[in-house]
Amino acid sequence: MAIASADTAIRSSSFSRVLIYLVLLLFALFYLLPFGIMLVNSLKPLEEITGGNMVSLPREWTIAPWLSAWSTAQIGVEPTGLRPYFINSIVMAVPAVALSTIVGALNGYVLTKWQFRGATLIFGLLLFSCFIPFQIVLIPMARILGILDIAGTTTGLILVHFVYGIGFTTLYFRNYYAAFPTELVRAAQIDGAGFFQIFWRIMLPSSGPIIAVSCIWQFTNIWNDFLFGASFASGGSAPMTVALNNLVNSSTGVREYNVHFAGAIMAAAPTLLVYIVAGRYFVRGLMAGSVKG
């Protein structure tokens, strides 16, 4: 009896395993389908798409739509392609990610290792900033950018994303550093290290996973942001997302779907790349601190 039941247990487990993988494969295909169609159509001449054949592979392979989207397509009024806006987005995202991560790390360090009166309250307020919807800060932010005379510039956008990101990065680093042994900080104090020396020499070198989490999160949010980009940067300083919208909505002549698809993939590529390169740190970092050991 015991043997028989063990037998069926093994059989049913290998059967359910096949079933699980089948279902997973189906889901993966389902999720990849839109991307596949985008990719396929970005490599077709326009006539094949307008001819009504969106799902099939191209009869004539071409990279012309990609070249066009990158350097010659009409964005608004200028035929510049997406390239300058891609550069805008990089110039905006890299400093904003770096600044918000560093300040978040500093905040987390102070909030956990240099406890002061009201630290919990300040952390609560910072945390609260994570829940404020974008729309609410639009008008006050526009006013501040005006006062600082950086409205409509990439610098202005950097400031907006930097400030908006501090809440999240502080949350990440505070929780990570809360589990970081305080005795290490005390030992460094006795060794004569100062506030910033402890931060640079002891805390940051041990923060790899959480830095990865913070960078991925911030990069994805900032790169994909449309609302702030559309509101605070105009014309030549617009980020990639806004430019993509302009590309698709430019109403001169025929709609070049293949170029639109190519542009959309370009806009999504950096975040995809970041996830592929650093994704495993993301999962590991998110789990860090939640489970002991």
Q: How far is the CB of 178 from other proteins (least distance, A)?
A: 16
- Partners of 233 in beta bridges: 152
User: Applying CB under 8 A, which part among 79-87, 90-98, 176-184, 244-252 lies near other proteins?
Assistant: 176-184
Q: Which is nearer to other proteins, 56 or 197 (CB)?
A: 197
Q: How far is the CB of 22 from other proteins (least distance, A)?
A: 42
Q: Are 72 and 262 in contact (CB under 8 A)?
A: no
Residues in contact with other proteins, total (CB under 8 A)?
16
Scan residues 215-254 and list those touching other proteins (CB under 8 A).
none
Structure tokens at 252: 């001169």
Q: Which is nearer to other proteins, 6 or 179 (CB)?
A: 179
Q: How far is the CB of 200 from other proteins (least distance, A)?
A: 11
CA distance 284 to 102: 20
Helix or strand run (H / E) with residue 19:
helix 2-42
Q: Which is nearer to other proteins, 199 or 232 (CB)?
A: 199
Q: How far is the CB of 201 from other proteins (least distance, A)?
A: 8
Q: How far is the CB of 163 from other proteins (least distance, A)?
A: 30
Residue with tokens 């096949």: 18
- Kindly report the backbone phi and psi dihedral angles of residue 152, in degrees, each rounded to the nearest multiple of 5, phi listed first: 75, 10
Give the contact letters, 126-165, x = binds to other proteins (CB under 8 A), - = no. Answer: ----------------------------------------
Give the contact letters, 180-219, x = binds to other proteins (CB under 8 A), - = no. Answer: -x-xx-xxxxxxxx---x---xx--xx-------------
Q: For the chain, what's the residue count?
A: 293
Burial of 55 by CB count in 10 Å (0-12 exposed, 13-18 middle, 19+ buried)?
Answer: exposed
Q: How far is the CB of 186 from other proteins (least distance, A)?
A: 5
| Cα–Cα nearest to 74, from 278, 259, 268 | 259
Q: Which is nearer to other proteins, 70 or 180 (CB)?
A: 180
Residue with tokens 């170029």: 259
Query: In 3-state terms, what secondary structure has residue 176?
Result: helix
Q: What share of the chain is helix, strand, coil (3-state, %, to 5)?
A: 75, 0, 20
What phi-psi label fits residue 256: left (phi over 0), alpha (psi between -120 and 50 degrees) or beta? beta
Q: Are 230 and 140 in contact (CB under 8 A)?
A: no
Q: How far is the CB of 172 from other proteins (least distance, A)?
A: 19
Q: Which is nearer to other proteins, 60 or 183 (CB)?
A: 183
User: Applying CB under 8 A, which part among 26-34, 98-106, 177-185, 275-283 lies near other proteins?
Assistant: 177-185
Sites of contact with other proteins (CB under 8 A): 181, 183-184, 186-193, 197, 201-202, 205-206
